[in-house]
Amino acid sequence: MGEQDVSTDPGDRRMQDFMQALLEDIHALEIMHERGMIESGVRRIGAEQEMFLVNSAMRPANVALQVLEAAGSPLLTTELALFNLEANTEPRLFGGDCLSAMEADLLAAVKLAHEAAGRCGAKVILTGILPTLRKDDLTLASMTPMPRYYALNKAIMRMRGGDNFQALIEGADELQTTHDNVMMESCNTSFQIHFQVGPDEFARLYNVSQAVLAPVLAAAVNSPVLLQHRLWAETRVALFQQSVDARGPVHVKRGQPPRVHFGDDWVRESVIELFREDIARFRVVLATGEHESPMRFIERGEVPPLTALRLHNGTIYRWNRACYGISEGVAHLRIENRVLPAGPTVADETANAAFYFGLMAGLLEEYGDIDKVMAFDDAKTNFLAAARHGLSAQFSWVNGAEMTARELIIKRLLPLAREGLKASKVDEGDIDRYLGIISARVESGRTGSQWVFQSLAAMGKSSNIDERFRTLTSAMISRQTTGEPVHTWALATLAESDGWHESYRTVGQFMSTDLFTVRPEDIVDLAATLMEWRHIRHVPVEDEHGALVGIVSHRNLLTLVSRRFSRADDGPVPVAQIMTRDPVTVTPETETLEAIRLMREHKVGCLPVIQDGRLVGMVTERDYMKVAGQLMEQQLRDQ
């Protein structure tokens, strides 16, 4: 979790002292690198498993602290949100049964979380983004109550000049939203894998990791929806960058990279380049108290903790992040692959790790210095294409070869990964099992994201969107418990839905959002025509800013027709003259029973839904009739 007693005030003396400590740490690391004080000649692997907690309605459950208490194990720890957990596996030597041992560690941690969550009325789900998340889940009330998280939020908002975060992601749907804190980051859960390497081979292996990130991600995509919008194959990539973007407009204009980024060039010589660049480019956002000089540790023959460097590094989110660590009194370097999503199963995650580790070893043997045969811009473009399109992404590979991700993986990369794992003396049975999962997944095209997209398409639109996404989440959990990899999963169906009432508790769960509106100055004939074309009985009237100013109903039109008939007045009439002003409204959080009561009490056939002063939806008598009809049909069939 890191240090909790932190400062974010740029004028605080601790901030200046921290910068001094940070510069001393990087100097000490340079000396350690030169003197051979960092472990070499050994490779290890490890992983971090993030997960969501949900309640019986498949909605986020803010019970992380209770779950940790129930579990009583150091294997589990907190994350940014109270509906997230994290587990860490023990590092293992790269070779032998390291992969199956990693899977066993992950299964044990997830089982522990499942059992503890069950005692708190919750369930665990492994998914890159929880399909049932809503924007109102992402308030500071859902933030884990630790000073470091609040300080991070405060610091980044200050760096943005107090401006809200802007998120714009386009896929099959378009999501455009703003948010006033960093909790959008908590929508993401990942399966982070670590590869410990020696300092002398770090640059070459880091570059290989940059090159293979795209094809590994293309095969592993599992986060295609956010806030009930169908977006990228791996939406986490776009969301994470935008959710903690501390840049103001002037920094964007100057081309300053965001704190979440891929990088801009190959590493030429050593890990020092990455740490130097991150210190030079990114301001310190968190500072801790006193730091003992790292040179004193070195003079005593001890390993310095480099706490300032590690804390600063933890606030910069390269997709491949260089990490300094200490294990059993020995300093080491790791490449932390942060791009892989959680899920769909532990078997899938371990297969993704096997593919990545195999390519790390195989490509280094095959190509040596990858930067000699591949342009960095191609590696970066491939990465973004993989995030958008998954296996259908078009890649530019080594020596200018052009092919789809699917073709590249099947024809070239799986054989290379196999050879890399063999050369690293990984058990043959593990190689066959995990690369077999990747091969079957890629051949079938059934990634986690494709399963989600296809399940939503198969469910159609006969039910409300909330019920579809809740059913999708429930189906994920039921299939994960089998342990079978995602390419074998049957699609989710509405027949699996239970507890339909959970999807109709509030107006926001089933309101109509595809609205046809008019302005006060529009002529009444336009409103009447919309009613005829769209078979609707109510048309909201909004101003140019989206604020509701009235409603035109079928009854209003009948009244106008009656007046015209009696007065023989055929001139155009503006909507403002006949609309009902100050209509009764509700919010998305209004309970359904309360909305029904309001409609009855005020004798109205519709309720505009308002949020932040803007029209966001409409609920009508027809919506209730549709729900009632579905329920009656279901009850009669069950007789």
According to DSSP, residue 163 is labeled: P
DSSP states of 396-432:
E-GGG-EEEHHHHIIIIIHHHHHHHHHHTTB-HHHHH
Highest mean pLDDT out of 370-384, 484-498, 579-593 = 370-384
Per-residue pLDDT tens over the stretch 209-234? 999 999 999 999 999 999 999 999 99
φ and ψ of 353, to 5 deg: -65, -40
Q: Residue 579 — φ and ψ, nearest 5°?
A: -70, 155
At 630 the pLDDT is 60
pLDDT given at position 565 = 45
Both tokens assigned to 604? 């109205």
Q: What is the mean pLDDT of the chain?
A: 91
Backbone angles phi, psi at 393, to 5 degrees: -60, 145
Burial 402-434 (b: 16+ CB within 10 A, else e): eebbbbbbbebbbebbbbbbeebebbeebbebb
Integer Cα distance of 323 and 310 in angstroms? 8
pLDDT at 570: 63
The tens digit of pLDDT for each residue in 519-573 reads: 999 999 898 888 888 888 899 999 988 889 999 988 878 777 655 544 555 678 8
- The domains of the chain, with CATH numbers, are 13-444 (3.30.590.20), 508-638 (3.10.580.10)
pLDDT tens digits for 135-168? 989 999 999 999 888 888 888 888 877 788 888 9
How much is the pLDDT for 254?
74
Q: Is the pLDDT of residue 252 over 80?
A: no
Residue 130 tokens, joined = 């929880």
- Give residue 410's region: left, alpha or beta (phi > 0; psi -120 to 50): alpha
> Reduced to 3 states, what is the DSSP secondary structure of residue 34?
helix
Name the token pair of 30.
Answer: 């340079």
pLDDT of residue 637: 58
Q: Are 583 and 539 in contact (CB under 8 A)?
A: no
pLDDT band per the 50, 70, 90 thresholds, residue 634? low
Check whether 41 has a pLDDT greater than 90: yes
Measured from the Cβ of residue 113, the count of other Cβ atoms closer than 10 Å reads: 28
Greatest extent of the chain over all pairs of C-alpha atoms, in Å: 102
Q: pLDDT band for 496, please (50, 70, 90 cuts).
A: confident
What is the Cα–Cα distance from 337 to 213, expressed in whole angstroms? 8
For the cut 80, the answer to whether the pLDDT of residue 133 exceeds it is yes
In this predicted model, what pLDDT tens digit does every residue of 326-356 receive, in sequence order?
999 999 999 999 999 999 999 999 999 999 9
Radius of gyration of the chain (CA): 28
Report the pLDDT value the prediction gives residue 381, as an integer from 0 to 100.
98
Residue 50, pLDDT > 50, answer yes
Q: Which two tokens stand for residue 394?
A: 């078009």
- What's residue 532's pLDDT? 87
Is residue 2's pLDDT more than 50? no
Question: How far, in Å, CA of 454 to CA of 590, rounded?
Answer: 32
Of 53 and 564, the structure prediction assigns the larger pLDDT to 53
Q: Provide the 8-state DSSP code for 94.
A: S
Strands 317-318 and 260-261: parallel
Which structure tokens are listed for 420? 């890399």
DSSP single-letter state for residue 541: E
pLDDT tens-digit map of 429-441: 999 999 999 999 9
- Above 50 in pLDDT, residue 204? yes
pLDDT for the residue numbered 159 = 80
The mean-pLDDT minimum among 22-31, 113-122, 145-154, 465-474 falls in: 145-154
